[in-house]
């Protein structure tokens, strides 16, 4: 025996137990070799993590197993707290153990806990159907610590709970923990028993109801009564619904099945649910359209500022419908209206749907398609599935109550696809005027005429809409608002709405246009007006607080100083002049899902390293544009007075700031070429110039998209000269007139023209040398 003792601790052999907890007074047999040791420390272990407290165990027998193996019989004595560890000459691990046998004293609280624990355990044993032996064993234990340790015998206690129990050395705390665990067991067993009793009573109730219903059926037959009242009720509703002939035929077949099988069949509820959905579709109900183009335009103008393209298209639709009706032209089921509004967030795409419905006198229903991945959301589930339902279109018609509502398909560009199907493919039939007059929902399985529905789809980017689906849409682009338009929208819509929401009256607070312009230019940078409305709400909340606390007396005029005081430091700056003051920095223009933006492109060079390094989370197309830009500048080296040896002996680094944002596209080609040319010649780019255009190896400038969004962003950033591709000249007609008056546009055909317009005449620092 190699016990090494001092005053407080004893050194014992450590026996780790993988996912096993042995408590004092337990007897176990383990297949371990303990040598000549008389006592050992049994410590629970899980995932190489040891418990802090173990059980000091006495070796009561040594057993030789067949095959030469050894085992020992052990009896748990008391707890021991493991301390420092060390190995002996044979590699065995010994630990210093502070022995902690249970105290023999027991106060009144411990006795009370003992009584509660015994009562809970007896109740558990009663629920388990114990034959009395375990109860007798528990009653025979007189020591409170040993009584608490009987929790370790429970099969429902987890390993973690047992370790926690073992590590509780104090007897009172251990009894409290044991009582808590056993109460949880008791509560769980009582819930299980109630569930079992409820299930058994439910089965008995169903059997009883079945017998009673069979008897009731027999009594009704004897009296000459049957379930015809339900069938007749459905038949009356079907006649009132004025269903199309093919739909009525389908409904009659289902009603006949219901009549034959009776109301007690499990299939009856499925058939009744199907008939209820057939009747929920407003087959014969239509809104009375107001075919007045002037009234339509007035309503649209009253609700929204700008957006002339959309308003013109709606007025055209109403005018055509009016002429067809007045001249007796038969309705064409293949001439439905399907508009798709593409543009940045906050530009009024969703809200204009309600205005269109109000202007035309139709009902309005909004369907949000963002994130849906299941085709059944559009077409519905087949009736073979439990809990099957029609698709969203049928539900939209039910909610509208007419067959000719305005249905808005919101966020159509964010429809997903996975193993359950592709909802965008299901939309192909819905949004095709040549097909949607015979749309078939999987659940109803009858043809639905959607040709009279006015579909309006919205999205932020057309690029994420599948090509076949986009081909069926009439796309109208929302390219954002100018500063003047935002001020007009704030005056006419946002400000009155926020005044009302913040509990103020119109005569109590006002704001001049110059203060609104300040909010637009210094505190927002967006294509829409959502952030603008939030900022106005902030200003009004602070004003309302001052009025409510009697710090100011209405009426209050919010000038520029009051706005700055409410909104704090300015959030956006016009930094074009500062950024382009050194050679190697050019100002580009970009179009994103949230509108246009100004993009700074920086270039530098050094002697060693890769020939061209690109940073800023650039996509493949943008990386190729940078390589083309470098090659085109190299071809122009003699004209620009650049030493051609530079391209062999120096490396170049092109960076696009805002590195956390992914960027891609070819339209930054001429901007990258300008930045490189500026770097190599030492001539900075004019701070008033922004540019956009794709570049070729021959130095030609190719057209780009999103010009209006880019120009509006440049205008907001204070740029007064914009270089654009010559083939984008016709797109200038889409630019608002007040913006065209303030910006000089320079259509170009080649990179030579770009550099002539963009670079300063004289260098501000020496050009790069070898």
What are the catalytic residues?
Answer: 667, 710
Cα 562 to chain centroid distance, Å, stands at: 37
**Assigned token pair, 608:** 């060693």
Q: Is 706 left (phi over 0), alpha (psi -120 to 50) or beta?
A: left
Contact 344, 594 (CB under 8 A): yes
**Assigned token pair, 740:** 């065209």
Least Cα distance to 486 among 460, 509, 506, 513 occurs for 513
Q: How far is CA 104 from CA 168, 176, 369, in A?
A: 16, 17, 71
- Which residues, 6 or more positions from 739, have their beta carbon under 8 angstroms from its beta carbon? 482, 711, 712, 715
How are beta strands 585-592 and 509-510 bridged, if at all? unpaired
3-state secondary structure 565-612: HHHCCCCCCCCHHHHCCCCCEEEEEEEECCEEEEEEEEEEEECCCCCE
Least Cα distance to 152 among 291, 20, 271 occurs for 20
Residues constituting the chain = 770
Q: What per-residue string of b and e applies to 117-140 under the rule 16 or more CB within 10 Å gives b?
A: bbebbebbbeeeeeeeebeeebee
User: Could you tell me which residues are beta bridge partners of residue 53?
Assistant: 81
Task: Say if residue 695 is exposed, middle or buried (CB neighbours under 10 Å; 0-12, 13-18, 19+).
Answer: buried
d(CA 474, CA 541): 42
d(CA 72, CA 349): 80
* Residue whose tokens read 């058994």: 200
| Alpha helix ranges (H) inside 330-380 | 349-360, 376-379
List the Cα angle 739/740/741 in 5-degree steps. 90
- Which residues, 6 or more positions from 139, have their beta carbon under 8 angstroms from its beta carbon? 118
Least Cα distance to 455 among 397, 377, 414 occurs for 397
DSSP 90: T
């Amino acid at each position: 025996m190699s016990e090494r003792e001092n005053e407080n601790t004893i050194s014992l052999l450590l026996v780790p137990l993988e996912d096993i907890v042995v408590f004092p007074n337990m007897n176990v047999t383990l297949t371990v070799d303990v040598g000549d040791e008389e006592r050992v420390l049994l410590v629970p272990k899980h995932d190489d993590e040891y418990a802090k407290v173990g059980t000091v165990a006495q070796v009561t027998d040594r057993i030789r197993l067949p095959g030469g193996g050894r085992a020992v019989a052990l009896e748990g004595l008391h707890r021991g707290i493991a301390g420092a560890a060390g190995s002996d000459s044979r590699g065995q691990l010994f630990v210093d153990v502070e022995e902690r046998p249970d105290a023999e004293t027991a106060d009144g609280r411990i006795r009370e806990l003992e009584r509660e624990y015994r009562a809970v355990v007896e109740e558990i044993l009663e629920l388990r159907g114990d034959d009395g032996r375990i109860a007798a064993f528990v009653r025979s234990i007189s020591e409170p610590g040993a009584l608490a340790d009987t929790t370790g015998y429970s099969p429902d206690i987890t390993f973690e709970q047992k370790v926690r129990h073992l590590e509780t050395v104090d007897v009172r705390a251990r009894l409290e923990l044991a009582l808590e665990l056993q109460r949880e067991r008791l509560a769980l067993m009582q819930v299980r028993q109630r569930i079992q009793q409820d299930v058994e009573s439910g089965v008995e109730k169903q059997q009883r109801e079945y017998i009673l219903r069979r008897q009731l059926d027999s009594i009704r037959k004897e009296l000459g009564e049957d379930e015809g009242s339900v069938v007749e009720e459905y038949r009356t509703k079907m006649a009132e619904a004025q269903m199309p002939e093919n739909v009525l035929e389908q409904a009659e077949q289902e009603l006949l099945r219901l009549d034959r099988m009776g109301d007690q069949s499990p299939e009856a509820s499925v058939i009744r649910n199907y008939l209820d959905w057939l009747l929920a579709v407003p087959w014969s109900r239509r809104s009375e359209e107001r075919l007045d183009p002037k009234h339509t335009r007035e309503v649209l103008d009253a609700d929204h500022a700008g957006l002339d393209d959309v308003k013109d298209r709606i007025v055209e639709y109403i005018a055509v419908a009016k002429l067809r009706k007045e001249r007796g032209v038969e309705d064409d089921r293949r001439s439905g209206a399907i508009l798709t509004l593409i543009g940045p967030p906050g530009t009024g795409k969703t809200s204009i749907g309600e205005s269109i419905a109000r202007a035309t006198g139709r009902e309005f229903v909004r369907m949000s398609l963002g994130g849906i991945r299941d085709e059944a959301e559009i077409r519905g589930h087949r009736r073979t599935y439990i809990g099957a339902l029609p698709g969203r279109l049928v539900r939209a018609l039910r909610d509208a109550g007419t067959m000719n509502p305005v249905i808005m398909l919101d966020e159509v560009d964010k429809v997903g696809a996975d193993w359950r199907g592709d909802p965008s493919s299901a939309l192909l039939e819905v949004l095709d005027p040549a097909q949607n007059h015979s749309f078939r929902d999987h659940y109803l399985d009858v043809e639905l005429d959607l040709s009279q529905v006015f579909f309006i789809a919205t999205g932020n980017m057309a690029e994420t809409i599948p090509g076949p689906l986009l081909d069926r849409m009439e796309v109208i682009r929302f390219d954002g608002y100018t500063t003047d338009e935002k001020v007009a929208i704030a005056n006419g819509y946002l400000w009155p709405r926020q005044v009302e929401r913040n509990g103020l009256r119109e005569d109590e607070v006002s704001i001049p246009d110059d203060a609104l312009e300040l909010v637009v230019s210094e505190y927002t940078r967006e294509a829409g007006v959502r952030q603008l409305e939030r900022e106005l709400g902030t200003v009004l909340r602070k004003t309302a607080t001052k009025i409510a606390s009697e710090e100011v007396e209405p009426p209050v005029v919010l000038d520029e100083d009051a706005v700055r005081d409410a909104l704090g430091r300015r959030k956006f700056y016009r930094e074009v002049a500062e950024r382009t003051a050194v050679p190697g920095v050019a100002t580009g223009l970009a179009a994103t899902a949230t509108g246009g933006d100004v993009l700074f492109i920086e270039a530098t060079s050094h002697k060693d390293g890769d020939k061209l390094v690109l940073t800023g989370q650039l996509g493949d197309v943008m990386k190729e544009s940078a390589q083309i830009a470098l090659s085109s500048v190299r071809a122009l080296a003699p004209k620009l007075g650049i030493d051609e040896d530079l391209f062999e002996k120096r490396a170049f680094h092109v960076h696009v700031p805002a590195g956390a944002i992914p960027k891609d596209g070819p339209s930054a080609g001429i901007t990258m070429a300008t930045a490189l040319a500026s770097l190599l010649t030492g001539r900075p780019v004019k701070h008033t110039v922004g540019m956009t255009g794709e570049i070729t190896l021959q130095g030609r400038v190719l057209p780009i998209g999103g010009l209006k969004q880019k120009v509006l962003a440049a205008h907001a950033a204070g740029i007064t000269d914009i270089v654009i591709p010559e083939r984008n000249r016709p797109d200038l007609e889409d630019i608002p007139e007040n913006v065209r008056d303030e910006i000089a546009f320079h259509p170009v055909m080649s990179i030579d023209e770009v550099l002539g317009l963009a670079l300063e005449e004289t260098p501000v620092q020496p050009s790069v040398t070898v």
